[in-house]
Chains A and B, each alone.
Chain A
Amino acid sequence: DAKTTQPPSMDCAEGRAANLPCNHSTISGNEYVYWYRQIHSQGPQYIIHGLKNNETNEMASLIITEDRKSSTLILPHATLRDTAVYYCIVRPLIQGAQKLVFGQGTRLTINP
């Protein structure tokens, strides 16, 4: 699987957009980019995923560069409840169990 690189920590003011970067320069053509987050002491929560087009849902937007070597997760109006560790994961579509590997992620702190 392609390796991902994320900054260990970021801060953002409440109400502003939080932009979390992820580098995946070795991504293959059949690999998707997935984002999860883990709020303190809770189980990880799926946020969004994409292949090459930008994606948006009720939680966030995902911007993938044209060469697919990096992506940005955008939380448009961050709230204190968005404080969490955010994981960027790259995985292919294969038959069988999807053994996601959660690295260290980015610890996002939303400040009042």
Chain B
Amino acid sequence: NAGVTQTPKFRVLKTGQSMTLLCAQDMNHEYMYWYRQDPGMGLRLIHYSVGEGTTAKGEVPDGYNVSRLKKQNFLLGLESAAPSQTSVYFCASAKQGASSGANVLTFGAGSRLTVL
């Protein structure tokens, strides 16, 4: 099992450019999440999804859009990148249900984005 795979791992953008980060999981998890992490700070939730075709806003959703067209994929888009979006982005997934295991998130290795 590959777990959670993020692509690309690194990307440099110019202000105003657009791009999409792809997250893919092979664990048949219902829930998927996008977090960002800035230097010296904890992770902040951007958007999340409870299943195919559904998305919801997290703590810091502005400037980002997401889509979950397939259960195994969760895409994070930046329509017009800004320097404030320079960060490391982490995708995570978890299984569904009101069980203690539903809080066990599996994270990807991260995507480092720099906006100039």
Give CA–CA (A96, B25) in the complex, Å: 19
Q: Which of B41, B90, B98, B105 is close to A95, meaning CB atoms less than 8 Å apart? A: B98
Bitwise, A64-103 to B at CB < 8 A (1) or not (0) is 0000000000000000000000010101011111111111
Q: Let me know if A43 and B31 touch, CB within 8 A.
A: no
Residues in B with CB closer than 8 Å to A103 are: 42
Interface majority SS (helix, strand, loop, mixed), chain A: loop
Q: Which of A44, A93, A97 is close to B48, meaning CB atoms less than 8 Å apart? A: A97
Q: Shortest CB–CB separation between residue A37 and chain B, in angstroms?
A: 11
Q: Shortest CB–CB separation between residue B98 and chain A, in angstroms?
A: 5
Bitwise, B6-29 to A at CB < 8 A (1) or not (0) is 000000000000000000000000
Give CA–CA (A87, B105) in the complex, Å: 13
Q: Which of A44, A45, A98 is close to B43, meaning CB atoms less than 8 Å apart? A: A44
Q: Let me know if A42 and B100 touch, CB within 8 A.
A: no
Q: Let me know if A46 and B42 touch, CB within 8 A.
A: no
Most buried by B among A41, A96, A101: A96
A111 near B: Cβ within 8 Å? Answer: no
B80 near A: Cβ within 8 Å? Answer: no
Q: Let me know if B42 and A43 touch, CB within 8 A.
A: no
Q: Let me know if A46 and B48 touch, CB within 8 A.
A: no
Residues in A with CB closer than 8 Å to B45 are: 99-101
Give CA–CA (A36, B103) in the complex, Å: 11
Q: Let me know if B58 and A99 touch, CB within 8 A.
A: yes
Instruction: Given the known inter-chain contacts A42-B110, A99-B45, please indicate yes or no for A93 contacting B99, CB distance below 8 A.
Output: yes
Chain A residues in the interface with B (C-beta under 8 A): 32, 34, 36, 41-46, 49, 51, 87, 89, 91, 93-105
Chain B residues in the interface with A (C-beta under 8 A): 4, 31, 33, 35, 41-43, 45, 48-50, 56, 58, 88, 90, 92, 94, 97-100, 102-110
Q: A93-B98, A95-B98 are in contact. List 8 more A-B contacts (CB 8 A).
A: A34-B104, A44-B92, A44-B105, A46-B105, A93-B103, A97-B94, A98-B103, A100-B103
